[in-house]
Every structure is written in C-alpha cells, then in structure tokens.
C-alpha cells in the first residue's frame, strides 16, 4: 500500500504557471485492510498548530487520488474517487501572506501506508530552519500550513 505524488505533464505545469497556481496530485493504492481515511489541514498561527479542517470517509476503491492546492490566502484539498470528489477549503491567517521566505516539505517519493500513521503530503512554514521537514508539529515557526492523510483499519 503506497501513496505517491503524480507527475504533471510539461503542458499542465506550464498552464499552472500561467495562472500562478500551485497544486499537487497524489495517487494512492490500498488493500482491504483499509476501511477509511482522514485528510487534515493544519494551520500554524503565532507558533501554535491547530486543525483548520478535515475530511473523513471511506477509503473507496483500491486506487484513488487526493489533490492539494496552497495559495497565498487559502488551502484546498480535493478527495477524488470514482463517484466524484469531496473538498475541504480553509482560509489562511494574515501572517501567512506576509511571510517573506518559506521552507517547504512535499511528499516527493512513494511512501508506505501504515494504518493510523499521519503522512504529510505538503507543508509550508515561515522562518523555519532546515529543509525536508516532514514532522510539521515540531517546527518552530510563526505561521504555516500542512496537509496530512491518515488511513484507518476501521470506519470513521
């Protein structure tokens, strides 16, 4: 069972650049042990991480997608399956837009899915030290945003 970033074609990347939009698409494959998943959006304001929104539901068919979009003022997550999609959108605090430089972590390689474990798909922080920071809750920063997914062995 794995989750991996989907590679956009060169044409798609060029279109996204025109619209100054940044998005990531993740494909995941699960087996019958997975009953559901929880997708969370976390926001850091004044150094405190809080959940800003979540989507919980069945894991669906063995292969599905999650799309994540982070802009200057919002974060959107789309849970895409064969019957359509569900979305969670949250506004980002004012400090997010005012930050000068960002440290980012993006899931860039396939990751094994373990039941009950948070997988960070994308996180962006201001003022954080270092790179490849995958445990956003330990980052010392003033503002930031993170998107996680957790696969569960029971229905939620």
Residue 143 belongs to domain spanning = 2-152
Nearest Cα residue to 75 out of 124, 28, 36? 124
Nearest Cα residue to 105 out of 52, 152, 68, 63: 68
Task: Please write the tens of the pLDDT for every residue from 38-75.
Answer: 999 999 888 888 999 998 888 767 778 898 998 878 89
pLDDT digit string, tens, across residues 15-25: 666 655 678 88
Least confident among 52-61, 88-97, 124-133: 124-133
Share of the chain above pLDDT 70, in %: 83
Q: What total number of domains does the chain contain?
A: 1
| Distance in angstroms (rounded) separating the CA atoms of residues 147 and 121 | 6
For residues 110, 115, 121, 124, the Cα torsion angle rounded to the nearest 10 degrees is -130
Lookup: tokens for 88: 């969670």
Q: Residue 18 corresponds to which tokens in the numbers above?
A: 């025109």
Bridge partners of 88, per DSSP, are: 77
- For residues 107 and 25, the answer to whether their CB atoms sit within 8 Å is no
How much is the pLDDT for 19? 58
């Amino acid at each position: 069972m794995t989750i991996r970033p989907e590679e956009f074609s060169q044409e798609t990347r060029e279109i996204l650049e025109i619209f100054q939009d940044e998005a990531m698409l993740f494909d995941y494959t699960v087996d019958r042990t997975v009953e559901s998943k929880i997708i969370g959006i976390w926001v850091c304001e004044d150094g405190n991480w809080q959940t800003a929104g979540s989507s919980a539901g069945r894991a669906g068919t063995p292969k599905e997608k999650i799309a994540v979009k982070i802009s200057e003022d919002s974060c959107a997550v789309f849970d895409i399956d064969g019957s359509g999609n569900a979305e969670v959108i949250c506004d980002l605090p004012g400090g997010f837009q005012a930050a000068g430089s960002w440290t980012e972590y993006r899931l860039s390689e396939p990751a094994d899915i373990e039941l009950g474990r948070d997988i960070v798909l994308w996180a962006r922080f201001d003022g954080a030290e270092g790179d490849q920071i995958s445990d956003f809750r330990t980052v010392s920063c003033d503002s930031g945003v993170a998107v996680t997914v957790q696969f569960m062995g029971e229905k939620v």
